[in-house]
Chains A and B, each alone.
Chain A
Amino acid sequence: MDSFLASIGQHLFVIFGLIACASAAVMIFSRSAVHSVLAFLFAMLCVSVCYFAQQAEFLGVAQLLVYAGGIVVLFLFVVMLVELSKFKEGGIFQAQAKVAIPLVLAAFGLFAFFFRQALFAAPAKDALTLPAEISGGLDVAANNAQAVSRGLFSGWLLPFEILSVILLVALVGAIVLAKAERA
């Protein structure tokens, strides 16, 4: 049964990856902002299923909890209160197109350049996993949550803390911006 699950995992990964891409496209091309947020939510749920299909259940649930349950709700909260017809009259979306299209193309080119190796080169010899001195004999595949925590809090503590400081800086910046607007 495990072999069947492993093979179905690959197929599920591809199927839900494609659905995620499709809903991301819906998010961009949808006329209504709330429909965009819904498509975004659906894309996030599909990414979570992709993690599950790869048996990374901790990442899958974290994706569900943080993105689907937290961040997209805030998006929805804001979008519901915005009247988009005002922006449509001002032609704000058309004005951005001149700058946005070259930027998107450039970004896409960069991504293609760096990811061509990942797509077309031979697969990596070693699975991406914790070094033995950090995992300490833990069965990483079966104990996702423990493995992630060991990695974050023993192997890569400094980068993790730096990331949290960056988030804090972004938070303070957001508060400063919001305050300046009110004054």
Chain B
Amino acid sequence: MQMTLTQTLVMALIQIVAVLAFIFVVVPMLTFAERKVIGYVQVRLGATRIAGGRKGLTGAVNKIMWWMGHFPVISFFRGLPTFMADGIKLVTKEDIMPAKADKFVFWLAPILCMVPAFAVFAAITFYPGVLGVFPTWVPIVGGLPVDGYITDINVGLLYILGLASVGVYGIVLGAWASNSKYPLLGGLRSAAQVISYEVPLTLSLLAPVILTGSLNFKTMSVELATGMSPWAILPLFIGFFAYITCGFAETNRVPFDLAEAESELVSGFHTEYTGMKFGWFFLSEYTNMIVVSALASAFFLGGHYFLPFGFQQFVPASWGWFAQPHLIFFLLKVFFLLFVFLWVRATLPRYRYDQLMSVGWKYFIPLTLVNLFIAGLVRFMA
């Protein structure tokens, strides 16, 4: 059935709102999980108490959280009030602009950081097919199927990489517009880092492109999970580790968070930002983490299928539910990789700047080139 223009637009709007809701639910929960996971890994209490006296509301909240600590699973949620207070603080805090800042660029930078991070989701396939059908009584889109993706662009992967490469402007311009030394140093570091790591990142993603012969997100994720020869497991395995490491560097996360190294640069490129302007930087960093996890799970970890690295081809059809693609598999993989982000942050110390550069140029680019060669060989043999 051919959809009319209005129906297409309304359907796209519904999908966009759904994806935005997903982001705005996952990102705050991720910050909460970050605090708690790191708290557990490093044997700290996490944020299990809030400021205030022993009496009144704050005292009561602290007493409840102390009591929750006696129960195994519930104790994880002891920090929840802190997390909510954190959100309120972020939104209501005073918005300070440095007197000598470049006002327009200062205002533009968080937007330039955030828009590409969100726009990338237009090309991500959450489920390669129809998620469900609207019941017929729904006004405009009644009886129409809802796809598991917003758009199915022919060059989806390139679109994602292109927008991700635009994201660095937010960091660099925000750093420059603050008109202060530490942000500028952080911004320069970040620009050099992101430009260097874009090369191995793209090269590691080219291995799946060679294996499938496509740039379409949906085709690639389905093909990589089910339609590969057994030899393709090797380049996918190497590619995964190269990609996830470069993904850490691209999102400025520990151990590659030199752009905001607290011990050297106060807080890096967003030192002068306060309130919700800082909040947008924060939000885009976590959104980028979701994007990196989504790409890694779609291309290397089997995407919407059960087993990673192309092992899905050994799953017989008799496994029923496990032989089919499911949204839940994809989301579980994404959440696992997000956990890996936090896990790594709790475990590894920060790299030195020259180490970071030498790892990128001397190890990852040759490694991904070799991987590309292996992928080409697999494709040639098949």
Contact = CB atoms under 8 A, between A and B. Distances in A.
A15 to B, nearest CB: 19
A1 interface: yes
Interface in B128-172: 153-155, 158-159, 161-166, 168-169, 172
B68 interface: no
Contact of B2 (A1, A34, A45, A64): A1
Interface stretch (B3-11, B20-28, B44-52): B3-11
Contact of A80 (B2, B8, B184): B184
B105 A34 contact: yes
B85 to A, nearest CB: 37
A80 B154 contact: no
Interface string A57-95: 110011011001110011011001100000000000000
Contact of B155 (A35, A41, A144): A144
Contacts of B101: none
Nearest to B3: A1
Contacts of A1: 2-5, 8
A4 B172 CA distance: 39
Interface size class of B (residues with CB under 8 A): 20 to 34
B77 to A, nearest CB: 41
Contact of A77 (B3, B4, B188): B188
Interface in A1-30: 1, 4
Q: Is the interface of B mostly helix, strand, loop or mixed?
A: helix
A129 interface: no
A32 interface: yes
A154 interface: no
A142 interface: yes
Contacts of A69: 161-162, 164-166, 168, 198
A64 B166 CA distance: 8
B165 A62 contact: no
Contacts of A140: none
A143 B154 contact: yes
B191 interface: yes
Contacts of A34: 102, 105, 173, 176
Contacts of A143: 154
A62 B173 contact: no
A145 B215 contact: yes
A73 B169 contact: yes
Nearest to B172: A76
Contact of A57 (B153, B166, B191): B153
Nearest to B153: A57
Contacts of B5: 1, 4
Contacts of B4: 1
Contacts of B215: 145
B74 interface: no
B266 interface: no
A144 B191 CA distance: 31
A83 B155 CA distance: 40
Nearest to A72: B169
Interface in A109-156: 142-145
Interface of B: 2-5, 8, 102, 104-105, 108, 153-155, 158-159, 161-166, 168-169, 172-173, 176, 184, 187-188, 191-192, 195, 198, 215
8 contacts: A57-B154, A58-B154, A64-B159, A64-B165, A68-B162, A70-B165, A76-B173, A80-B184
Given A77-B188, A142-B154, 8 more contacts: A65-B162, A65-B165, A73-B165, A73-B169, A77-B172, A80-B176, A144-B154, A145-B215
- List 6 A-B pairs, minimum CB-CB distance, nearest first: A69-B165, A64-B162, A65-B162, A61-B158, A61-B162, A80-B176
